[in-house]
Amino acid sequence: MNSETDLRFKRFFEQSYSVILIIDPEGGRIIDGNKAAIDFYGYSHQELTSMKISDINMLGSNGVQQKMYLTVEKNGQQFIFDHKLANGQIRNVEVHTGPVDIGNSQLIYSIIHDITPRIKAERELVVAKEKAEEADRLKSEFLAIMSHELKTPLNAIVGFSDLIKNNPDLSQEEVVNFASIINKSGMHLNFVISDIFNLALLHTNQLTVVRSKSKVVDLVNELSETVSVVYKTSQVGFEYHIGNGLDNVEIDSDVEKIRQVLLNLLDNAFKYSTSGVVKLLVLQNQEKIMFSVEDQGKGIDPKVGDKIFEYFVQEDNSSSRRVGGTGVGLAISRGIAELLKGSIYYESAPGVGSKFFFSVPIVFKVDEK
């Protein structure tokens, strides 16, 4: 450079709002940094010029050295790096770099732009896009499963109704058997329709509490009767136990929604069990009623975790198709539990089984405004 060019470069270097470093390509020592560089990195000028670029660039010494050789060879390059500031913060930077002759030395200039917000926005956009695509896929799959879940009991109801109507010579035993199948299919259909209805209400924040009262004993006895009908042919047994002191305890809440949650939990327990016993235990814990539903099924993969409580997420889609189910029962159950100011969680171990806990206040109290 001649003296006039040197002066222009010096003015540009010192007055530029862009971060600029001058680096020795042999070893990577930082020769100089402008005020913008001092402000950005948080080092004093003396500290900055006593460092190597590899002290800042997270690529490491060998990687940085290779990039500097490439810069000189190609007469200029553009890179994206992670740079470490004095306070330990890591920033994403875009570096425009090239060789420059200063005095008798060939050095490298690097014009550095902080692109952390841009990189963050791009990553968030990718994640949002992936989530949206996954949501669309899961919803489509859910609709396909729901269609199957609706058609199966409907086909049974129509088919066995036609058999009864068109075969007047059926024996009493056959009529009773067909009627039992129709009844079971109707109850299953009712479960599915309730799921669809509550799912729509939860998604639009329109699900409300419709208060009613029921003795705990009556509620559990009704559930037992339902289970005995719906799972009459199941190879899995059923047991229930009501804790001491609950004989006359009455729940004052939305009993119908409590019943639906318990039916969802029991339905899952039976579907994912091939042997053993499903157990329903009811206890009182201070001002709450705690229900637990235990099965001896395959258990839940620890990797799935609480995702089983998310909408349109199933632990094993192939399994859910094999055993049936809409895949939203647990998500709805969690929504209802929260609506009733209760909670729901589970314990599980692969190959051992699962235990779901559902608790609600004995008396539902409206929040005071």
pLDDT, mean of residues 280-309: 90
Residue listed under structure tokens 């035993």 = 173
| Residue 101 vs residues 20, 45, 49, 204, 270: alpha-carbon distances, Å | 15, 22, 18, 66, 79
Q: Which helix (H) or strand (E) holds 219?
A: helix 216-230
Q: Could you give phi then psi for residue 237, rounded to 5 degrees?
A: -80, 170
Q: What would the two tokens of residue 84 be?
A: 């470490």
> Taking Cα atoms as reference points, which of 245, 148, 221 lies closest to residue 188?
148
pLDDT, mean of residues 4-11: 70
pLDDT tens-digit map of 41-90? 999 999 999 999 999 999 989 999 999 999 998 888 999 999 999 999 99
pLDDT at residue 277, as a whole number: 94
Residue listed under structure tokens 């969690």 = 334
pLDDT at residue 284, as a whole number: 94
Q: How confident is the model at residue 312 (pLDDT cuts 50, 70, 90)?
A: low
Predicted TM-score (pTM) of this structure:
0.59
Strands (E), the chain: 19-23, 30-33, 77-84, 90-102, 105-114, 212-215, 237-242, 250-253, 277-285, 288-294, 343-349, 353-361
Quick one: residue 160, left, alpha or beta (phi over 0 = left, psi -120 to 50 = alpha)? alpha
| Homologous superfamily of domain range 3-114 | PAS domain (3.30.450.20)
- Average pLDDT over the chain, rounded to whole? 87
Q: How confident is the model at residue 255 (pLDDT cuts 50, 70, 90)?
A: very high
Residue 218 has pLDDT above 90, yes or no: yes
Chain centre to alpha carbon of residue 178: 42
Residue 260 has pLDDT above 70, yes or no: yes
pLDDT at residue 193, as a whole number: 85
8 A C-beta contact, residue 266 and residue 223: yes
pLDDT at residue 142, as a whole number: 72
Domain 136-361 CATH assignment equals 3.40.120.10? no
pLDDT at residue 342, as a whole number: 95
Higher pLDDT, 238 or 301: 238
Q: Where are the domains of the chain?
A: 3-114, 136-361
Q: Cα-Cα-Cα-Cα dihedral of 229, 235, 236, 241, to 10°?
A: 50
| Residue 349 vs residues 275, 293, 295, 297, 300: alpha-carbon distances, Å | 16, 15, 11, 10, 6
pLDDT at residue 314, as a whole number: 57
Burial class (CB in 10 A: 0-12, 13-18, 19+), 18: middle
pLDDT, mean of residues 316-322: 46
Higher pLDDT, 141 or 275: 275
pLDDT at residue 318, as a whole number: 46
